[in-house]
Structure 1
Amino acid sequence: MAEVTAIILAAGLSRRMGARNKLLLPVAGVPMIRHMVNVYRTATCGHVFVVTGHQAGQIGNALSGSGAETVFNANFGQGQPTSVACGLQAAGEATTVLIGLGDQPLLTAGDIRSLLAAHAAADSARISIPAVDQRRGNPIVVPAALRARLLADPRSPGCKEFTRTHPEHVQFHPMASPGFYTDVDTPGAYTALRADMLEDIT
């Protein structure tokens, strides 16, 4: 089992879901965000940090006893890059960091292990991103040597801008599992996933 620190982003406003916070909706009998923590903890043996913002108290309550550590992003209203920066700062000196989303309930521990194995077998000094048909997925793997670079620009911290402007530091791994590419943003998406697949996730 890989020793990896995981950062799960859970600070967003969940606007497209309407009145409900998608991360608190049930998946496999627990709130979605707790399910995601369970998946990452099964896949790795390092720390799991959950970056909170919107409804931080409710997210924290959902994670009570899960083993995850919550980190509050006071600037969550400015977008996901600030949450990535907040998580990277919390991760400290961890050698390898996984950065993932809190709303990918089809992602499995096996998916994460496959990505980590691909990263280890390739150039571990580069950022590893799952991809299929030119579509990028999540989580991504960030080596320690690049974390300072991701935090260097206070106007645009995080991974999105950096990975697009510095392709020499990025490697893509063909991963077909839908868990890497499926998130839950709308009531319709949640209903469809729950009806078709979510109750079978263990």
Structure 2
Amino acid sequence: MTVLYDETHGTPPLPTFSAVVLAAGLSSRMEGRHKLLLPVDGEPAVRRVVHAVLGAQPQEVVVVTGFNAHAVFDALDGLPVEFQPNPRYRDGQMTSVAAGVAALRAACDVVMICLADQVLLESRDYRELIDAYAAMPRGSILVPRFEGQRGNPVLFAASYAPEVVNGHVNPGCRKLIAEHADEVFVYDAASDRFTVDMDTPDDYARVVARVEGRSGSGGERATPRLHREAG
């Protein structure tokens, strides 16, 4: 990725990014409820997530739909996003990643793959990852981590897009990290928000409690760090 320097201020601008929000899953562990439609602080979980992504000022946002697609569409009514249906959503998350990346139209430096059930993430968290990506001495893939646990979103250079679309590269799998060790950096984040999602009823209860302030802000560490992932 090439980032031009701003001659006026002497510092490079942050890379531009586009976001793919994965909202196609079956919610199979949520005991019959569609997790993306569950209320979190007065709005559907998926709307809360997309609001936060939009607040980070991406070039564009593509929301990939599958299971219960019409309800997801309705939950996001009025938001400036593009929708991309994935008729193969039952075949696994990678099909949704490929569909979403293929639907991107705006030029950007970086693609961010976001999970629609990470409702604790805020706009500043997504911007933090862009800052971290820009600070990498080299490499083209960034994976956040908190206290040894891998998190999301995963970021990768837009130059990977054709390989992702063709199914040759899965930006979230461990095989990719092993095969591209020199290109992958692990970002040790200061918050566990990057590792918290919402798969089960218990997860949902814990997330709601945190959002409503009943259980504090969760794990925090003082200083985030960058590491290259070992092969």
Q: Is 1:59 the counterpart of 2:59 in the alignment?
A: no
Other-structure match for 2:125: 111
Q: Is 168-177 or 100-109 further displaced after alignment?
A: 168-177
Contact preservation (8 Å) 1:16, 1:186: yes
CA distance in 1, matches of 2:120, 2:206: 12
CA shift for structure 1 position 163: 2.7
How far residue 107 of structure 1 moved from its aligned partner, in angstroms, is: 0.8
Q: 1:149 Cα deviation (Å)?
A: 2.8
Code of the residue aligned with 1:103 in structure 2: it is D
> In 2, distance between residues paired with 1:65 and 1:137?
29
The answer as to 2:141 corresponding to 1:127 is: yes
Identity among equivalent pairs (%): 36
Q: Which residue of 2 aligns with 1:23?
A: 36
Who wins on radius of gyration, i.e. which is larger? 2
State the superposition RMSD in angstroms.
1.9
Equivalent pair of 1:97/1:142 in contact (CA under 8 Å):
yes
Instruction: Return the TM-score normalized by structure 1.
Output: 0.90
- Alpha-carbon distance in 2 for matches of 1:191, 1:67: 29
- Cα shift at 1:106: 0.8
Cα deviation for residue 177 of structure 1 reads 1.2
Bigger relative contact order (CA 8 A; separation at least 6): 1
Shift of 1:46: 1.7
Partner SS for 1:71: strand
1:82 counterpart residue number: 95
Aligned mate of 1:185, from 188, 199, 209: 199
Q: Which amino acid aligns with 2:134?
A: A
- Which digits, 9 at most, give the CA deviation of each residue in 1:48-70, with x for residues without a partner? 11111000010001011011211
Map of 2:63 onto structure 1: 50
> Which secondary structure does the structure 2 equivalent of 1:197 belong to?
helix
1:72 to 85, 89, 100: 85
Q: Which runs of 5+ in 1 are unaligned?
A: none
1:33 aligned to which of 34, 46, 62: 46
State the alpha-carbon separation in 1 of the partners of residues 199 and 126 from structure 2.
Answer: 21
Secondary structure in 2 matching 1:113: helix
Match of 1:148 in 2: 162
Task: Name structure 2 gaps, 5 residues minimum.
Answer: 1-13, 214-231
Q: Find the counterpart in structure 2 of residue 3 from structure 1.
A: 16
Q: TM-score, normalised by structure 2?
A: 0.79
CA distance in 1, matches of 2:187, 2:86: 30
